[in-house]
Protein backbone atom coordinates (compact mmCIF):
# COMPACT_ATOMS: atom_id res chain seq x y z
CA UNK A 1 0.00 0.00 0.00
CA UNK A 2 1.41 3.40 -0.88
CA UNK A 3 1.66 6.28 1.58
CA UNK A 4 -0.96 8.32 -0.21
CA UNK A 5 -3.53 5.55 0.12
CA UNK A 6 -2.67 5.12 3.80
CA UNK A 7 -3.02 8.84 4.38
CA UNK A 8 -6.41 8.85 2.66
CA UNK A 9 -7.55 6.02 4.93
CA UNK A 10 -6.45 8.02 7.98
CA UNK A 11 -8.29 11.09 6.76
CA UNK A 12 -11.44 9.14 6.02
CA UNK A 13 -11.45 7.44 9.42
CA UNK A 14 -10.68 10.76 11.13
CA UNK A 15 -13.57 12.38 9.30
CA UNK A 16 -15.85 9.55 10.37
CA UNK A 17 -14.85 9.87 14.02
CA UNK A 18 -15.20 13.64 14.29
CA UNK A 19 -17.36 15.05 11.54
CA UNK A 20 -17.51 18.81 11.02
CA UNK A 21 -21.08 20.13 11.34
CA UNK A 22 -22.62 23.50 10.94
CA UNK A 23 -24.80 24.85 13.72
CA UNK A 24 -28.11 24.33 11.90
CA UNK A 25 -27.30 20.68 11.05
CA UNK A 26 -28.61 17.91 13.24
CA UNK A 27 -26.87 14.59 13.72
CA UNK A 28 -28.49 11.22 13.10
CA UNK A 29 -29.05 10.69 16.82
CA UNK A 30 -30.79 14.06 17.11
CA UNK A 31 -33.15 13.25 14.21
CA UNK A 32 -34.04 9.74 15.35
CA UNK A 33 -34.42 10.68 18.98
CA UNK A 34 -31.75 8.35 20.31
CA UNK A 35 -28.07 7.72 20.27
CA UNK A 36 -27.18 5.77 17.15
CA UNK A 37 -23.73 4.85 18.40
CA UNK A 38 -24.04 4.40 22.11
CA UNK A 39 -20.71 2.60 22.55
CA UNK A 40 -18.66 5.56 21.42
CA UNK A 41 -16.74 3.30 19.02
CA UNK A 42 -16.77 4.49 15.42
CA UNK A 43 -18.71 2.24 13.08
CA UNK A 44 -16.97 0.74 10.12
CA UNK A 45 -18.92 -0.31 7.08
CA UNK A 46 -18.61 -4.05 6.40
CA UNK A 47 -16.06 -4.81 3.73
CA UNK A 48 -17.61 -6.71 0.85
CA UNK A 49 -16.07 -10.00 -0.24
CA UNK A 50 -13.90 -9.17 -3.27
CA UNK A 51 -13.83 -12.76 -4.54
CA UNK A 52 -15.94 -13.33 -7.61
CA UNK A 53 -16.58 -16.67 -9.23
CA UNK A 54 -14.18 -17.21 -12.13
CA UNK A 55 -16.88 -18.52 -14.43
CA UNK A 56 -20.57 -18.50 -13.63
CA UNK A 57 -22.43 -21.81 -13.79
CA UNK A 58 -24.28 -22.19 -17.07
CA UNK A 59 -27.93 -23.09 -16.76
CA UNK A 60 -29.08 -26.29 -18.43
CA UNK A 61 -32.66 -27.07 -19.35
CA UNK A 62 -33.89 -30.60 -19.99
CA UNK A 63 -36.22 -31.48 -22.85
CA UNK A 64 -39.31 -31.87 -20.64
CA UNK A 65 -38.85 -28.39 -19.19
CA UNK A 66 -38.34 -26.85 -22.64
CA UNK A 67 -41.40 -28.63 -24.00
CA UNK A 68 -43.56 -27.48 -21.05
CA UNK A 69 -42.47 -23.85 -21.43
CA UNK A 70 -43.22 -23.90 -25.18
CA UNK A 71 -46.64 -25.44 -24.49
CA UNK A 72 -47.40 -22.82 -21.82
CA UNK A 73 -46.33 -20.02 -24.16
CA UNK A 74 -48.44 -21.40 -27.01
CA UNK A 75 -51.45 -21.76 -24.71
CA UNK A 76 -51.25 -18.20 -23.34
CA UNK A 77 -53.93 -15.91 -24.81
CA UNK A 78 -53.63 -12.69 -22.80
CA UNK A 79 -51.48 -9.78 -23.88
CA UNK A 80 -48.21 -9.87 -21.97
CA UNK A 81 -48.74 -13.41 -20.71
CA UNK A 82 -45.66 -14.70 -22.52
CA UNK A 83 -43.53 -11.91 -21.04
CA UNK A 84 -44.86 -12.73 -17.57
CA UNK A 85 -44.04 -16.39 -18.14
CA UNK A 86 -40.49 -15.56 -19.21
CA UNK A 87 -39.98 -13.22 -16.23
CA UNK A 88 -41.38 -15.78 -13.81
CA UNK A 89 -39.07 -18.50 -15.14
CA UNK A 90 -36.06 -16.18 -15.56
CA UNK A 91 -35.78 -16.86 -19.30
CA UNK A 92 -35.03 -14.76 -22.36
CA UNK A 93 -37.18 -14.52 -25.46
CA UNK A 94 -34.31 -16.06 -27.43
CA UNK A 95 -34.70 -19.23 -25.33
CA UNK A 96 -38.34 -19.46 -26.35
CA UNK A 97 -37.67 -18.87 -30.05
CA UNK A 98 -34.85 -21.44 -30.08
CA UNK A 99 -36.99 -24.01 -28.29
CA UNK A 100 -39.90 -23.42 -30.68
CA UNK A 101 -37.56 -24.02 -33.62
CA UNK A 102 -36.31 -27.20 -31.96
CA UNK A 103 -39.89 -28.42 -31.50
CA UNK A 104 -40.64 -27.74 -35.18
CA UNK A 105 -37.54 -29.64 -36.27
CA UNK A 106 -38.25 -32.51 -33.89
CA UNK A 107 -35.05 -32.05 -31.94
CA UNK A 108 -36.76 -32.07 -28.55
CA UNK A 109 -38.31 -35.45 -29.25
CA UNK A 110 -34.80 -36.76 -29.80
CA UNK A 111 -33.72 -35.25 -26.48
CA UNK A 112 -36.03 -37.39 -24.38
CA UNK A 113 -34.20 -38.93 -21.47
CA UNK A 114 -32.42 -42.13 -22.30
CA UNK A 115 -31.72 -44.97 -19.93
CA UNK A 116 -28.37 -44.31 -18.34
CA UNK A 117 -25.79 -46.83 -17.28
CA UNK A 118 -24.73 -50.14 -18.69
CA UNK A 119 -26.68 -51.48 -21.58
CA UNK A 120 -28.08 -54.93 -21.03
CA UNK A 121 -26.33 -57.53 -23.11
CA UNK A 122 -28.14 -60.62 -24.35
CA UNK A 123 -26.38 -63.91 -23.96
CA UNK A 124 -25.28 -65.36 -27.32
CA UNK A 125 -26.97 -68.67 -26.41
CA UNK A 126 -30.24 -66.92 -25.67
CA UNK A 127 -30.03 -64.99 -28.93
CA UNK A 128 -29.34 -68.19 -30.90
CA UNK A 129 -32.23 -69.92 -29.11
CA UNK A 130 -34.61 -67.11 -30.13
CA UNK A 131 -33.51 -67.37 -33.77
CA UNK A 132 -33.97 -71.16 -33.78
CA UNK A 133 -37.43 -70.92 -32.20
CA UNK A 134 -38.48 -68.37 -34.84
CA UNK A 135 -37.09 -70.56 -37.65
CA UNK A 136 -38.85 -73.61 -36.21
CA UNK A 137 -42.19 -71.77 -36.09
CA UNK A 138 -41.72 -70.59 -39.70
CA UNK A 139 -40.95 -74.15 -40.88
CA UNK A 140 -43.96 -75.51 -38.97
CA UNK A 141 -46.24 -73.12 -40.89
CA UNK A 142 -44.67 -74.13 -44.22
CA UNK A 143 -45.12 -77.82 -43.35
CA UNK A 144 -48.80 -77.29 -42.51
CA UNK A 145 -49.29 -75.49 -45.84
CA UNK A 146 -47.53 -78.31 -47.73
CA UNK A 147 -49.65 -80.98 -46.00
CA UNK A 148 -52.82 -79.06 -46.91
CA UNK A 149 -51.73 -78.88 -50.57
CA UNK A 150 -50.99 -82.63 -50.59
CA UNK A 151 -54.42 -83.38 -49.14
CA UNK A 152 -56.09 -81.28 -51.83
CA UNK A 153 -54.05 -83.07 -54.53
CA UNK A 154 -55.10 -86.47 -53.13
CA UNK A 155 -58.76 -85.50 -53.16
CA UNK A 156 -58.47 -84.16 -56.72
CA UNK A 157 -56.72 -87.32 -57.89
CA UNK A 158 -59.41 -89.48 -56.23
CA UNK A 159 -62.17 -87.40 -57.89
CA UNK A 160 -60.50 -87.91 -61.31
CA UNK A 161 -60.21 -91.65 -60.72
CA UNK A 162 -56.44 -91.78 -60.27
CA UNK A 163 -55.94 -92.26 -56.53
CA UNK A 164 -52.49 -91.67 -55.02
CA UNK A 165 -51.38 -94.50 -52.75
CA UNK A 166 -50.83 -93.62 -49.03
CA UNK A 167 -47.29 -94.01 -47.82
CA UNK A 168 -46.42 -94.23 -44.20
CA UNK A 169 -43.93 -91.57 -43.18
CA UNK A 170 -41.83 -92.23 -40.17
CA UNK A 171 -42.11 -89.21 -37.92
CA UNK A 172 -39.30 -90.24 -35.61
CA UNK A 173 -35.66 -89.26 -36.09
CA UNK A 174 -33.43 -92.16 -37.10
CB of 43 closer than 8 Å to CB of 37: yes
Who's near 89: CB < 8 A, 6+ residues apart?
69
CB of 89 closer than 8 Å to CB of 81: no
Average pLDDT over residues 142-148: 94
Comparing CA positions, the residue from 78, 75, 55, 77 lying closest to residue 67 is 75
C-alpha–C-alpha distance, residues 165 and 170, integer Å: 16
C-alpha–C-alpha distance, residues 92 and 85, integer Å: 10
Q: Is the pLDDT of residue 43 over 60?
A: yes
pLDDT tens for 88-129 read 999 999 999 998 888 888 876 766 666 777 877 888 899 999
pTM for the full model? 0.35
C-alpha–C-alpha distance, residues 83 and 42, integer Å: 48
Residue 88: how many other CB atoms lie within 10 Å: 9
pLDDT tens for 26-41 read 555 555 555 555 555 5
Comparing CA positions, the residue from 63, 85, 65 lying closest to residue 74 is 85
Amino acid sequence: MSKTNGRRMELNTAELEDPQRREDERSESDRSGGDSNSGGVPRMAPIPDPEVAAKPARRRFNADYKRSIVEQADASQDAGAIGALLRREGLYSSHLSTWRRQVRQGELAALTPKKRGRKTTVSPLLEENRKLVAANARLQRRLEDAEFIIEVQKKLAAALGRPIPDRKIDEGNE
